[in-house]
A and B are shown apart, each in its own frame.
Chain A
Amino acid sequence: MAKLNLNLKLKYKDDLFKFILSIFIFGIILIFITVVAIILYYSYPAVSRFGAAFLWTKEWNPPKEIFGAATFIAGTFMVTIIALMFAIPLSLGIGIFLEEYCPKFLKGFFTIIIEILAGIPSVIFGVWGVLTIVPWLRINIEPFFEAHFSNIPFLKVTENIGYGILAASIVVAFMVVPIIASITKDALAAVPKITKDGALAMGATRLDVIKDVSLPFSYRGIYGGIILGFGRAVGETIAVVLLIGNQAIIPKSIFGVGYTISALLANTFTFAVISPIYASSEVELALILLLISLIVNLIGRNVLQKVIGGKLSRTQFGGG
């Protein structure tokens, strides 16, 4: 009898344990639903009032209650794309260096450096940009481009102040490099060693192995990394606020100042809540960011799931 009681007690405890853990699972689902539902609920007035025209209206005029996101979407995509143009070759080089060329005894140390880069908070990147990148652009780069490339449309220097799309892009590029580089490294590490060794035994150089064996095997993983890097760059806020210049114009040159969605939200959201439609328009901008991040991450995870089996690299959790 006593034994039966003991068994029952254990079973109750086990059931209780499972029950409590499943409450936690509901907590996770609840958090996800909360963020999506709050953004949808509070952006609904703007969505229903402006419709799809919100996306291509250029004017953003709170006193007249005219709201259009085109300027900010353009700024966001310019910063993201220029940042990726810097980040992709750089991080492919880093991934290839760490996995294929780097001497064995330095590999761990070098990998830690790239992981540290991922952990540096974005506000510190912003400060570094303001005090290092901006003066460098203003003193060295912009006068050079003004003197030699002033007739090329995208490289025209309009105002020589250092702040602008390029400054923001460079810093954002350094923030996405660790993500793409570490995923590239993981994807290259997933190439079976025996195929690489086979190619080497046939007399191929390292470069041949990378070009003809490793990259064809792992290019999907690298795409996945680039997609995740894109998602990170689109939502980057604090460093961009400090560097982009915060002018609501569509920049005509990479040296021009501009505005991104996240920068606008960071600067004006707390003033916007006095007027319901103004606040709602800002939340609709957040909805655009949320949708981009969800779609991009969904695609990126699916790609990576197939290649490196959903293994998460540390750099994806990087600091704010």
Chain B
Amino acid sequence: MTEKENNKKAEDAGNYFPVNKSYIKRKKIYNRIAYASAAFAFTIGAFPVFHIIYSALIIGYKYLNWSFVSTLPSGFPIGAKGGILNAIIGDLYLVIIASCLAVPLGIGSGLYLSLFGKKRTNSIIRLLNELMIGIPSVVWGIMGFYIFSTNAGLGFHFGFSALAAGLTLGFIMTPIVTLLTEQAVNRIPASYIEGALAIGATKWQATKSVIVKAAMGGIFTAVLLGVLNIIGQTAPLLFTNYYNTGMPTGITGPGGAVGDMAMLIFIYIHEPSRILHYKAEAASVVLLFFVFALDIGMRLISWITVKIFEML
């Protein structure tokens, strides 16, 4: 076979499978354009994250010092002097009250779903939880007003107070903790649970000695994500707690209202006062700090659990 014949063969093949060079070039250019526009979309989507932090810091940094987080607001209009201690303490109250309701309820239901649930009950409960996650927070606020806060009609008559707001926030937090706990327990390798059951442990013993330990990281993540969600909530507090510039004297009735970080920012940004707008930005920095701290804590915990699982 000569070289000439070979070339002719290649040419024939080229006629059967025509390679259109400009077509390929065009395809490549389109691909580049798609890459660029997808990357551009990502840039726009990521922009607010950085710009929110940047703009809050650039305006709020003058006010950020230790006394900002350790003194109560004072001056006129209220908040012009002093700090946001009332809001930090108030958030602590709300998170503790909400957790008292949501943590046992959420973890218990999550465990039930993954340990005892029949397929049918499971799908119904999961659906209810997912629907509850989608309910707008303003609707939760109205529900909280009628069952916890108002002094007329049905309900508990707690007034505008930390207890009313905390329980409303607990209602919001419960479905989150439930769903994530269930996912965390389902992620445990089946052999762990089956092994415990196979040597004669009851489900209670298996839970106590195996499941809780193995799913600890996931359950912590669930609780932290719930807390992360409720410290940003403002709308439910409008109708169940509103705001207090001082310290609460109790958790129900008059004097039971607490300050809240999100509420403080909302009220300050409504005021026609430049200094309060700046303080709102400074408070945003503090709130973002808490949010990111929870976020990082959550990621660390789940990363560590994954590492531990790999070591076992």
Verify that A and B bind, or say they do not. yes
Q: Please give the residue numbers on chain A whose beta carbons come within 8 Å of chain B beta carbons, in ascending order.
A: 10-11, 13-14, 16-18, 20-25, 27-29, 31-32, 34-35, 38-39, 42, 89-94, 96-98, 100-102, 110, 112-117, 119-128, 130-132, 174, 177-178, 181, 205-208, 210, 228, 231-232, 234-238, 242, 262, 265-266, 269-270, 273, 282-283, 286, 289-290, 293-294, 296-298, 301, 310, 312, 314, 316-320
> Are B232 and A25 in contact, CB atoms less than 8 angstroms apart?
no
> Are B205 and A10 in contact, CB atoms less than 8 angstroms apart?
yes
Distance of A75 from chain B, by nearest CB (Å)? 14
How far, in angstroms, from A21 to B229 measured CA to CA in the complex?
25
> Are B171 and A14 in contact, CB atoms less than 8 angstroms apart?
no
Interface assignment of B161: CB less than 8 Å from any CB of chain A: no
> Are A123 and B234 in contact, CB atoms less than 8 angstroms apart?
yes
Q: Which of B7-15, B62-70, B103-111, B245-253 contacts A (4 or more CB under 8 A)?
A: B103-111
Additional 13 contacts, C-beta under 8 A, given A34-B147, A121-B232? A93-B45, A101-B38, A117-B48, A121-B234, A121-B291, A178-B45, A237-B138, A242-B269, A262-B136, A282-B142, A294-B135, A317-B225, A319-B232
Q: Which of B72-80, B125-133, B188-196, B212-220 contacts A (4 or more CB under 8 A)?
A: B125-133
> Nearest 10 A-B pairs (CB), nearest first?
A235-B136, A93-B41, A121-B232, A319-B232, A24-B108, A97-B38, A320-B233, A297-B134, A320-B232, A21-B112
| CB contact between A94 and one of B45, B131, B202 (< 8 Å): that residue | B45
| CB contact between B235 and one of A89, A234, A266 (< 8 Å): that residue | A266
| CB contact between B178 and one of A28, A38, A102, A124 (< 8 Å): that residue | A28
Distance of A298 from chain B, by nearest CB (Å)? 7
Contacts of A113 in B (CB 8 A): 46, 49
Chain B CB within 10 A, most for which of A101, A130, A294: A101
| CB contact between B234 and one of A100, A122, A269, A317 (< 8 Å): that residue | A122
Question: Which residues of B, 19-70, contact A by the 8 Å Cβ criterion?
Answer: 27-28, 30-31, 34-35, 37-42, 44-46, 48-49, 51-52, 55-56, 59
Question: Which residues of B, 136-170, contact A by the 8 Å Cβ criterion?
Answer: 136-143, 145-147, 150
How far, in angstroms, from A98 to B59 measured CA to CA in the complex?
32
Contact pattern, B 231-268, Cβ under 8 Å of A = 1, otherwise 0: 11111001100100000000000000000001001100
> Are B35 and A101 in contact, CB atoms less than 8 angstroms apart?
yes
Contacts of B125 in A (CB 8 A): 25, 28-29
> Are B147 and A22 in contact, CB atoms less than 8 angstroms apart?
no
> Are A238 and B234 in contact, CB atoms less than 8 angstroms apart?
yes
Distance of A4 from chain B, by nearest CB (Å)? 14
How far, in angstroms, from A238 to B111 measured CA to CA in the complex?
34
How far, in angstroms, from A231 to B56 measured CA to CA in the complex?
29
How far, in angstroms, from A58 to B178 measured CA to CA in the complex?
42
Distance of B134 from chain A, by nearest CB (Å)? 4
> Are A28 and B174 in contact, CB atoms less than 8 angstroms apart?
yes
> Are B288 and A318 in contact, CB atoms less than 8 angstroms apart?
no
How far, in angstroms, from A116 to B262 measured CA to CA in the complex?
17
Chain B CB within 10 A, most for which of A122, A228, A294: A122
Given A28-B174, A123-B262, A207-B34, does the pair A116, B49 have CB atoms closer than 8 Å? yes
How far, in angstroms, from A228 to B229 measured CA to CA in the complex?
17
> Are A31 and B27 in contact, CB atoms less than 8 angstroms apart?
no
> Are A17 and B207 in contact, CB atoms less than 8 angstroms apart?
yes
Contacts of B111 in A (CB 8 A): 21
| CB contact between A293 and one of B55, B139, B205, B265 (< 8 Å): that residue | B139
| CB contact between B128 and one of A18, A29, A112, A262 (< 8 Å): that residue | A29
Given A13-B202, A17-B204, A228-B134, does the pair A319, B229 have CB atoms closer than 8 Å? yes
Distance of B151 from chain A, by nearest CB (Å)? 10
Contacts of B37 in A (CB 8 A): 93
| CB contact between A286 and one of B139, B232, B269, B287 (< 8 Å): that residue | B139
Q: List 15 A–B pairs whose Cβ atoms lie within 8 Å, in order of A's numbering.
A: A11-B202, A25-B112, A28-B105, A96-B38, A117-B49, A120-B48, A126-B269, A128-B52, A237-B235, A270-B242, A273-B150, A282-B142, A283-B142, A320-B230, A320-B262
Interface assignment of B179: CB less than 8 Å from any CB of chain A: yes
> Are B203 and A91 in contact, CB atoms less than 8 angstroms apart?
no
> Are A265 and B128 in contact, CB atoms less than 8 angstroms apart?
no
Chain B CB within 10 A, most for which of A13, A312, A317: A317
Given A14-B202, A97-B38, does the pair A119, B48 have CB atoms closer than 8 Å? no
Given A21-B109, A205-B28, A235-B138, does the pair A123, B266 have CB atoms closer than 8 Å? yes
> Are A177 and B284 in contact, CB atoms less than 8 angstroms apart?
no
> Are B284 and A127 in contact, CB atoms less than 8 angstroms apart?
yes
Chain A CB within 10 A, most for which of B45, B180, B233: B45
Distance of A265 from chain B, by nearest CB (Å)? 5
How far, in angstroms, from A93 to B40 measured CA to CA in the complex?
8
How far, in angstroms, from A112 to B59 measured CA to CA in the complex?
26
Distance of B132 from chain A, by nearest CB (Å)? 6
> Are B41 and A97 in contact, CB atoms less than 8 angstroms apart?
yes
Closest Cβ neighbor of A228 among chain B residues: B134
Chain A CB within 10 A, most for which of B138, B140, B180, B269: B138
Contacts of A205 in B (CB 8 A): 27-28, 30-31
